[in-house]
Structure 1
Amino acid sequence: MGQASKVFGKQITYSVSPFQQKLFVNYFKNAIPHLRRGVKDNFFCSVPYFAALYITVNWANETYHNEMKDHWY
Structure 2
Amino acid sequence: MKYEYDKEADGLYIWFVDNIEENKEDYEGEIWPEELKNEIGLLFDKKGKLFGLEIMPASKYFEKVKLDAISSESL
TM score, norm. by length of structure 1: 0.22
| Greater relative contact order, per chain length (Cα 8 Å cut-off, separation 6+) | 2
TM score, norm. by length of structure 2: 0.21
**Which structure has the larger Rg over C-alpha atoms?**
1
Higher helix share: 1
